[in-house]
Amino acid sequence: MSTSPSVDSITNFITAVRTYNPLPFPVAVTEVMKTLSPFINSDNGLDDDINQSIKDIEERFVQAVRHMCLMVKHTVHSVTMLCSILAVSNTKPHPLSTANVLRLVAEGLLAGNACATDAHVQYTVLRTDVESKFDLFEQKFGEDSVINVSGNSNTIKSTLKVLRDTIVLHLKESEKVSLATVDLLTGINKLLQTFLEDDSFSLKNPLTNAPLFSLDMFPTWKGLREHFITFQAKACRPISSMPVVLDTHQKYLIASWASGDIQNG
């Protein structure tokens, strides 16, 4: 269940932007991949069922990360366009140009919201499956069964319980951030839709005459953009350069999704 403030008014929008915190997400990504990588990239001698389950967890986790990086790409692009038009909105209005930009902004934010929604569903289903799978493994082997994985220079020792707890903890963090993102973008989309459907406001007037885009709202829109630029810098881009954690193919995919070189599909 979401604990994010409902974005159903401009006041709540301001509060939501101030309180939005995506930073647990990159930490979760790093920790999950660091935890799983030794098991994926070594001859670990684990039970075949456990081995396959860990590989499945990694693949599905990376897929969810992909959707969050696509969300960031769409959102940064959209909010950057909006901030650019707001910066010159007090000059002579260009109704057709403004309408086109607002349409593109709305479409981009909807796409970002769809990606965040997909990611949240994937994290939630994956966490449930991880808990179910590890319940079976712990019944079969015991939760304190020791797992030894030989790496290039050392041996990692863990237990089924520690492995499970680490993965589930960070999946929950990923769920929270993705859900908070969905709540935020859903609210913004509704505010934009309400504005675009308001026939009482003419785009022949400066856009800053509208309460949602007033001069007082500049810090909020800029703050929103900064949040997602930070998200991109701390989550999507560094993943592609993580040593050991991702293989070459995964690094390429995440970097491409983050930069927009690979389209959603």
Q: What is the spatial distance between Cα 219 and Cα 191, in angstroms, rounded to a whole number?
A: 17
Asked whether residue 119 is domain-assigned, the answer is yes
Whether the pLDDT of residue 240 is over 70: the answer is no
Asked whether residue 86 is domain-assigned, the answer is yes
Q: What is the spatial distance between Cα 32 and Cα 166, in angstroms, rounded to a whole number?
A: 7
Whether the pLDDT of residue 3 is over 90: the answer is no
Asked whether residue 3 is domain-assigned, the answer is no
Asked whether residue 30 is domain-assigned, the answer is yes
Strands 146-150 and 155-159: antiparallel
**Total-model pTM:** 0.85
Question: Of the given ranges (32-41, 70-79, 132-141, 239-248), which has the lowest mean pLDDT?
Answer: 239-248
- Residues facing 148 on adjacent strands: 157
Average pLDDT (42-56) is 73
Residue 151: pLDDT band (50, 70, 90) is low
**pLDDT at res. 43:** 56
Residue-wise DSSP of 35-71: HHHHHHSS-----HHHHHHHHHHHHHHHHHHHHHHHH
Choose among 140, 76, 86: nearest CA to 111: 76
pLDDT above 70 as % of the chain: 81
Number of domains within the chain: 1
What lies within 8 Å, CB to CB, of 172 at 6+ separation is 127
Asked whether residue 1 is domain-assigned, the answer is no
Whether the pLDDT of residue 60 is over 70: the answer is yes
Asked whether residue 172 is domain-assigned, the answer is yes
Asked whether residue 57 is domain-assigned, the answer is yes
Domain carrying residue 86: 10-259
